[in-house]
Each structure stands twice: as structure tokens, then as C-alpha cells.
Structure 1
Amino acid sequence: MDIQQNKAPRPTLPLSSAHDGLFLKLTDDIYCFTDKIVNIFVVGHPGQSEEWFLVDCGISRTSSHFLSTLSEQFGDVYPPKRIILTHGHFDHVGAAYELAAHWGVYIYCHELELPYLTGKQDYVKPDPTVEGGVVAKLSKTFPYEAIDLTPIVRALPDDQKIPGFPEWKWIHTPGHSPGQIALYRQKDGALLSGDAIITVKQDSLYDVLTQSTQLQGPPRYFTTDWKAAKDSVERLSQHQPSFIGPGHGLPMFGEEFRQGLQQLLHHFDQYAVPDYGKYTEE
């Protein structure tokens, strides 16, 4: 595969958390790696075969930290079949180009995310005026420009399947971004939620740094459609997931997660929607 990048990688941010570099085994074949403040998921057994895929690519511009962690955990690592992006915000695509080039694989996303990943359209600017903590105020410095991965990015199929992995389905969860998706597996109730549902109050600097765990809606400063965001939480809850691997924060399991999800669903307007902000008003 001849891979060339048409735009430089987005800059990273000098923001990290207490769990930077944490590698967790969630199930026999799902692993979570925290890159500064965002999670990357490995689904499958990279040390055994190519029958695995990667979900999101972190905030870092370099892939070296993640690749070295994979080697430490699995030994010799086979290339994955594909990379799946839950959405294209800067903190989920940091090493996307480097990893795709390293492995010679394609990146897949929802069709509605393609303009932001092919250099055609910038995301809306984050809203530093939104109700929230220090991170919300700092969001005015966050990158929102499109990147161009044209040669290697593809749209996911309309049948909601992950190509080559029939047990997994993707679920459209707009609100935080137009084409955001979550991934779900029915046999064990595994939910990789992207930023549709997270487990840390992402606008609070203290909570981000300490990774204090609490079920939340999407990050406020980048969410532009709160009705769609609420509908997305409802859509995910209908699948009755057993545990969550979120885009931000620690995984959550069992009764704690199920009760938290019901609380979030029933009180979404109070728990998730900010009292004020540019996109709340719109």
C-alpha cells in the first residue's frame, strides 16, 4: 500500500493523567491502553494472528509508546486487519497515520466522518464558554482542523458490521460529532462507547488528571447537538451492555455500570447537558 499523508499530523497537548500508559485486560480478547487522557482499544490477540483490530489511535503524534507497549504485552505483534475510528477528533486520531503506515492497513470510520478525515471540512470550533471546569476553558486551544488520510481511510459498510469480525457491530451515536460510532458485541455485552458515554468529567482538570470515575455524557466543549447526544445514549442503553470501555476514563463493569447508565439516561439533561454554552443555545 502506497501511503502518503497530505497534511501534517495534528499537534498534541501537554495534558496527561495519572493513568497515562496504563494497559488493562478487560476480557480474554479486549485490552485498553490509556494514551495521556484518551483510550485505545485492542480487540483480539495481536501476538497470535492478524485476527484483531484497533479502536482509535490516541492523542500522541508518535506511535512509538503504543507499539512498544504492544511488544511488551504480546511479544512479536502481527499487523491488525484494520483500524476503526469512533470519530475523528484530534485526541482519537493522533497516531492514526503512523500506525496505518507502520502496519500497511486501512482505517475505517462512519461515512459522515469522512469529510473531517479527508481534508474537506473542519470540525466546528470547541466552545470555551460552555459550563464546566478548567479543561473546558482550555478547549479554545484544542485542534479542530481536518486532517487528510485520503489514501487509507474508508467508510464502514452500511450493514453495521465490522468487516472480518461478524460478532461486532457498530452503532451510530451522533451528537458529539456527526459520524461518531460505538462498537458492541452481544455475546458478552461489551460496549466500546467512544465519546458518546465516558466515565470521567472531561471538562474538569482535576477529574481528568486523577481519572475520577463517574458515568458522563460526551465532553461538553466539543458536543454540538445535545438532542442527538441524548438519543445516542438511549440507543446504546437499548442493547443492555454489561460493561463499558469509554473513550475517556476507566472501564466500568457490572451493576455499578448498569445503574450508572440508567441514572445517566433518566437524568441526562441534568447530568450531561450544560446550563449554558454556544451549542446549548443553538
Structure 2
Amino acid sequence: MNEQMSYGEDYKFIPATSIGSGMGLAVLPDLYCHTIQIVNICLIGMPNSNDFVLVDAGMPGSANEIISLSEERFGQNNRPKAIILTHGHFDHVGAIIELVKHWKIPVYAHELEMPYLTGKERYPEPDSTVEGGMVAKMSPMFPNEPINLGQHVEVLPSDGSVPHMPSFRWIHTPGHSPGHISLFREEDRALIVGDAFVTVKQEYLYKVLTQEQEISGPPRYLTTDWEAARESVETLAGLNPSVAVTGHGMPMSGSLLADSLQKLVKEFDQIAIPDYGRFVPKKLH
């Protein structure tokens, strides 16, 4: 039975943007990062080849922008081999149903994200009480009903390999969501982080608008497990990445990345964990 794909009932366009919206950056010859409103997607593959994948699927209503971007970079007759999801929050799956219908390609995600991608379970409500600015306060309007991709979504291989991305492996980096993953390529230490850490304080509207670069933990209003989030940051810092493309904020590289990650590991409680909020464990403070 081929189920109909559907977004959650609360799915809608979110009027939030940043100075980087619509801008793209070739971080490496085969790693292209593009900002859609306040979130980044990645296209992995050499330009004009037919061997590429899309990592994450942007904001609601962004399908045409993603399709145009893909055609511009890889040619009109080429389509990605697959969509790999770092996790299933609304700003990472916003255009996914239109993209799957248009390209007729599979989606891969971690096993623990499956309930949220097959209509079975919703994420916890965003925490608007969390310490932070305007974006945190706006978070109740963010969609959190589960989308249903039916048979179009498949579980990532348990051996850490990534379909159609042979030089990358996936790493389980939970905390922000149960099945959150990051992608790492050993040969050049390129890291696609997802939201395990970000390079902008995502809770503050001014910082989101101006994309002021500042390493931070995962976006606070959707992070439910701070102990796991801390361990995930430690895992990623231990890889000593040369460049990191995060779900929010500009890519970071070199000594700025190394120093910032070390600081985030050392001062995780102060930098990442909010002083108050629904998911903040009392024992951490």
C-alpha cells in the first residue's frame, strides 16, 4: 500500500528570515551550503555531475528555491540520488514532500527519527519559556505535528555508512532530537553538523537577522535532552573538524572552529544550557 504523504496539520510558512537568506557558499568544491530564511541546506557532489545528494530540506514553502538551486548547480536533467536528514524538525523537512514527489527519490534518516517522519509521533512542543530572545518567544508558532513520508523514508544503514555519500559516515548526535545525526568525512575532516551545535545564537532575533557568528549549543527552544546534547558536542569536537556546516549560522573553519569548539566543550553549561526552561535539568545548575 502506498500511503499518501502529508505534512502535520500545523504546517505553515514561518515569517522569519536572516541577512544570509538566499545566499550560497561553496565551502569545499563538492560541499555547497545554501541558506533558506534561517536554516541551511547542503548539496554534496561536484557541480554539473549527476552524482549528488541533498542534506536536509529547508523551510515550509521552499521547494521551488531548492529545485532551482539544484538545477543551477547540477543541470536541469539531474536530480539528487537521495535526501539525507540530520533530523525531522520542521525547518529541516519543510519542503520534503514536494521534493520527493518532484524528484522521486528516497529519504534517509536515523531509526529514532522514524516516528516523527511517519506520522506516528509529534515532537515535544517548543519551549517558549526557555531563556533567550524573540525567536524563543515565537517558537510556539513553529510546526511540531509529525509529517508522514510513508514508505518514502528509509532507515540509515546501521554500520554508519551513508547511501550515495561513500566518503562520509553518519554519527548519532542526539540531544536536540532523539535521532539527530551529523555527517563526517575523514579525508578532509569536513563536518555537516545539523543542529548539534550552531554558529549563531538561534534564540535571539537580532543575531539571527544579522547572522553574528558565535558558537552555541543546539537551538534551545527545541532541545529536550541537555546531557545527550553535551555528549554530542564532545563527540564532534573530538573529530577535530577542519570545517563545520551547521544547520543555523555561517560555516566555520580552521582555528576559529577549533578554538570555538574547545570553548563550547569547556563552558557548555554557561554557553549552551539555558538558565531556565522546561527541559533544563535542575542538577546542572
Alignment of 1:129-208 (within 5 A): 129-208=129-208
Query: Match for 2:35: what amino acid?
Result: T
Query: Match for 1:19: what amino acid?
Result: G
3-state SS of 2:43 partner? strand
For structure 2, the 5+ residue unaligned runs are none
Query: Match for 2:34: what amino acid?
Result: F
Query: Match for 1:18: what amino acid?
Result: I
CA contact (8 A) 1:35 1:60 kept: no
Query: Match for 1:195: what amino acid?
Result: D
Aligned twin of 1:279:
279
Taking the aligned partners of 2:210 and 2:14, their CA distance within structure 1 comes to: 17
Give the deviation of 1:78 after TM superposition.
1.2
Give the deviation of 1:8 after TM superposition.
5.7
3-state SS of 1:31 partner? strand
Aligned twin of 1:84:
84
Give the deviation of 1:67 after TM superposition.
1.5
Aligned twin of 2:110:
110
CA contact (8 A) 1:70 1:77 kept: no
Give the deviation of 1:7 after TM superposition.
4.1
Give the deviation of 1:254 after TM superposition.
0.4
CA contact (8 A) 2:8 2:145 kept: no
Taking the aligned partners of 2:4 and 2:230, their CA distance within structure 1 comes to: 38
Taking the aligned partners of 1:166 and 1:249, their CA distance within structure 2 comes to: 27
CA contact (8 A) 2:47 2:73 kept: no
Taking the aligned partners of 2:136 and 2:200, their CA distance within structure 1 comes to: 13
Aligned twin of 1:28:
29
CA contact (8 A) 1:122 1:145 kept: yes
- Higher mean displacement: 183-192 or 39-48: 39-48
CA contact (8 A) 2:70 2:79 kept: no
CA contact (8 A) 2:52 2:164 kept: no
Aligned twin of 1:70:
70
Query: Match for 1:81: what amino acid?
Result: K
Tell me, yes or no, if structure 1 residue 41 matches structure 2 residue 34: no
Query: Match for 2:109: what amino acid?
Result: C
Taking the aligned partners of 2:99 and 2:39, their CA distance within structure 1 comes to: 16
Taking the aligned partners of 1:7 and 1:243, their CA distance within structure 2 comes to: 33
Give the deviation of 1:200 after TM superposition.
0.4
Taking the aligned partners of 2:120 and 2:67, their CA distance within structure 1 comes to: 30
CA contact (8 A) 2:8 2:144 kept: no
- Identity of aligned pairs, percent? 50
TM-score for the superposition, normalised by structure 2: 0.95
CA contact (8 A) 1:5 1:97 kept: yes
How many residue pairs are counted as aligned between the two chains? 280
CA contact (8 A) 2:60 2:90 kept: no
Q: Deviations over 1:37-56 (max 9, x none)?
A: 0000000035222x211100
3-state SS of 1:78 partner? coil
Aligned twin of 2:120:
120
3-state SS of 1:280 partner? coil
CA contact (8 A) 2:197 2:246 kept: yes
Give the deviation of 1:66 after TM superposition.
1.8
TM-score for the superposition, normalised by structure 1: 0.96
Taking the aligned partners of 1:106 and 1:138, their CA distance within structure 2 comes to: 32
CA contact (8 A) 2:86 2:180 kept: yes
Taking the aligned partners of 1:6 and 1:171, their CA distance within structure 2 comes to: 28
Give the deviation of 1:61 after TM superposition.
2.1
Aligned twin of 2:14:
13
For structure 1, the 5+ residue unaligned runs are none
Taking the aligned partners of 1:72 and 1:148, their CA distance within structure 2 comes to: 29
Alignment of 1:214-229 (within 5 A): 214-229=214-229
Aligned twin of 1:230:
230
Aligned twin of 1:258:
258
Give the deviation of 1:62 after TM superposition.
3.8
